[in-house]
Chains A and B, each alone.
Chain A
């Protein structure tokens, strides 16, 4: 079975199957539900311990931040947006691949997405949780963060809807809500399966409640499929709008390096690029540790690498266009901003970005051999996410620290608290993800069953012989 899933290199006509042959609905159900219902694998505990320790770093540093205020960060007067906004944009971007896989690829009938869509959606939600933390702790008085929402209050103060920051509140909160709903709705039939297979009384009870009493009635399935399709159709414009709105936070400001119309498409492409890198970072260890090579095959990795190649090229075009426009605009400040970005005191960040985001991935991903090389892809996924982090750092910091007036120039240096909070959100993300793979079915069982060849309906009746021959 494992050998056949290696047939990625055979070209589009004899592609490797999405599910390795030999599987039946009951074997895929057994394999996927066993991940949750069997005993916790031994590697899970040390992994969880590390993640949980990192989560505590987050809690401690955020606790200290609440005591002292945002002065403990490296932000200062010209650079008022520092790592917090860099991390916010980075995490939201990572989340985008999950929605892309679950919604856009569903609409495009890319069946290979099925095996990876559940944990990609989980990744989205956990990444949005990490992302959402940053604007909240950045506001300075996070206990008043609900002031961001329009609600009748005794102060008679309301949000100002011409501001991109107000748009952001609507975009990110909608994104989080719809992602959670889509994810949960997708799991309802699988919770039914888990309820029927669980042995422990508590597990039966918990999965039973979560399944809402799902019984697989055909009328239910038809409405369910319609609702899933509608949610996919709604998530597609949503995911494009979220990073567009985030790019407006920059593009609407009149600052050289930010005020550019190319930001929305280039932010969305960058988001998908980093998100697919994160899916690869997560998928490779999971398929290995849980022996899911039959379900998450090399074809999945190959396809994801191709998506990264495409979106990485769009990002590369974006970088090129930025450089071109700073020259073509004939604006002194635009020109200086780009010179400063490349050769100024923080020029190193720009060249790290070019190396990790463009030079390494966009030269190697053309090779099919490297695209199905699991070790290489795993390393590359980290390289790309480093690059995407530096992209946001370059946009945020190097545009801010030397703006129009040389007398107000400054510099920026992150403090240990910036580092701790960033590492801490990785702990938050990993902790949530490890809990997810332990307690929830991480591959959608009902959808994988549907992809198996024996699940097609063949007519039975007087003229069944001819009908079967036609389908064969």
Chain B
């Protein structure tokens, strides 16, 4: 848990994604680790600069799909063979080809819901409060056309004065403190 007293970090605002990515790369090579970029649209190069590669959304999606197909197929088999066997024009009770269709739909249903809600959960959303919203300029630009780099105070290398000097060497529009 980050300490509640003190500040959350320092946030620098940039006009272009290129400046943001450059600053992030420099911060990384200067030894900063606890940091995050905030952009109005996905910037893959920023994720590269943060060395963020651990994305478990596809795994969740796969697990959901496997769960969907198994659930649906076993359910159909159990219902039509054991729970409620009906003779429909002499067709076998275990009509496996016919069972594929609902199983196919539930594969997609479970996989899609797992991907969507898994993404939300991995992102820690919904989280209506976050310290970066306290930066006075954040909400004017972060969801429109400005690019932010936040170096967090929990980073061992963080020091209010040195980090500020470090961020001010880049062509940032502003560098401000973020309160909790």
Nearest chain B CB to A30 CB, angstrom units: 8
Nearest chain A CB to B40 CB, angstrom units: 6
**Contact between B113 and A446 (Cβ–Cβ < 8 Å)?**
no
Contact of B142 among A170, A209, A215 (CB under 8 A): A215
- Assuming the contacts A170-B101, A196-B140, A245-B101, asked whether A178 and B39 have C-beta atoms less than 8 A apart, the reply is no
**Contact between B79 and A150 (Cβ–Cβ < 8 Å)?**
yes
- Is B172 positioned at the interface, with any CB of A under 8 Å from its CB? no
- Assuming the contacts A25-B144, A181-B113, A223-B119, asked whether A161 and B99 have C-beta atoms less than 8 A apart, the reply is yes
Contact of A226 among B39, B98, B119 (CB under 8 A): B119
- Assuming the contacts A181-B112, A449-B40, asked whether A219 and B18 have C-beta atoms less than 8 A apart, the reply is no
**Contact between A174 and B106 (Cβ–Cβ < 8 Å)?**
yes
Contact of A162 among B98, B111, B133 (CB under 8 A): B98
**How many of chain A's residues have a CB under 8 angstroms from any CB in B?**
68
Residue-wise, chain A 183-225 has the 8 Å CB interface mask toward B (1 for contact) of 0010001001101110000000000110011111111111111
- Is B80 positioned at the interface, with any CB of A under 8 Å from its CB? yes
Nearest chain B CB to A270 CB, angstrom units: 20
- Is A281 positioned at the interface, with any CB of B under 8 Å from its CB? no
The listed residue with most B CB atoms (<10 A of its CB), out of A162, A197, A456, is A162
Nearest chain B CB to A252 CB, angstrom units: 9
Contact of B144 among A161, A162, A177, A196 (CB under 8 A): A196
Residue-wise, chain A 1-40 has the 8 Å CB interface mask toward B (1 for contact) of 0000000000000000000000011100100000000000
**Contact between B95 and A162 (Cβ–Cβ < 8 Å)?**
yes
| Complex interface: chain A residues within 8 A of B80 (CB) | 158, 160-162
- Is A234 positioned at the interface, with any CB of B under 8 Å from its CB? yes
**Does more than half of chain A's interface fall in helix, strand or loop, or is it mixed?**
helix
The complex places the Cα of A243 from the Cα of B115 at a distance, in Å, of: 24
**Contact between B84 and A215 (Cβ–Cβ < 8 Å)?**
no
Residue-wise, chain A 398-411 has the 8 Å CB interface mask toward B (1 for contact) of 00000000000000
The complex places the Cα of A245 from the Cα of B105 at a distance, in Å, of: 10
**Contact between A234 and B108 (Cβ–Cβ < 8 Å)?**
yes
The complex places the Cα of A208 from the Cα of B130 at a distance, in Å, of: 12
**Contact between B112 and A178 (Cβ–Cβ < 8 Å)?**
yes
The complex places the Cα of A11 from the Cα of B125 at a distance, in Å, of: 46
The size class of the interface chain B forms with chain A is 35 or more
- Assuming the contacts A185-B116, A447-B41, asked whether A213 and B126 have C-beta atoms less than 8 A apart, the reply is yes
**Contact between B111 and A230 (Cβ–Cβ < 8 Å)?**
yes
Nearest chain B CB to A472 CB, angstrom units: 14
**Contact between A226 and B57 (Cβ–Cβ < 8 Å)?**
yes
The listed residue with most B CB atoms (<10 A of its CB), out of A216, A454, A456, A457, is A216
**Contact between A193 and B144 (Cβ–Cβ < 8 Å)?**
yes
The complex places the Cα of A457 from the Cα of B47 at a distance, in Å, of: 12
**Contact between A227 and B116 (Cβ–Cβ < 8 Å)?**
yes
The complex places the Cα of A436 from the Cα of B120 at a distance, in Å, of: 24
Smallest Cβ-Cβ distance to A159: which chain B residue:
B79
The complex places the Cα of A24 from the Cα of B41 at a distance, in Å, of: 13
In the complex, which residues 133-162 of chain B have their Cβ closer than 8 Å to any Cβ of chain A? 133, 139-140, 142-145
- Is A182 positioned at the interface, with any CB of B under 8 Å from its CB? yes
| Complex interface: chain B residues within 8 A of A375 (CB) | none
**Contact between B128 and A460 (Cβ–Cβ < 8 Å)?**
no
Residue-wise, chain A 124-166 has the 8 Å CB interface mask toward B (1 for contact) of 0000000000000000000000000010000011111111001
| Complex interface: chain B residues within 8 A of A59 (CB) | none
- Is A344 positioned at the interface, with any CB of B under 8 Å from its CB? no
| Complex interface: chain A residues within 8 A of B113 (CB) | 177-178, 181
The complex places the Cα of A153 from the Cα of B46 at a distance, in Å, of: 54
Instruction: Using A170-B101, A170-B102, A222-B52 as known contacts, list a sample of 7 further A-B pairs with CB atoms less than 8 Å apart, ordered by residue number in A.
Output: A25-B144, A25-B145, A177-B112, A223-B55, A227-B61, A455-B41, A459-B22
Chain A residues within 8 Å of B, Cβ to Cβ: 24-26, 29, 150, 156-163, 166-167, 170-171, 174, 177-178, 181-182, 185, 189, 192-193, 195-197, 208-209, 212-227, 230-231, 234-235, 237-238, 241, 245, 248, 446-447, 449-450, 454-461
Question: Top 5 A-B pairs ranked by shortest CB distance?
Answer: A227-B119, A25-B145, A212-B126, A221-B42, A158-B84
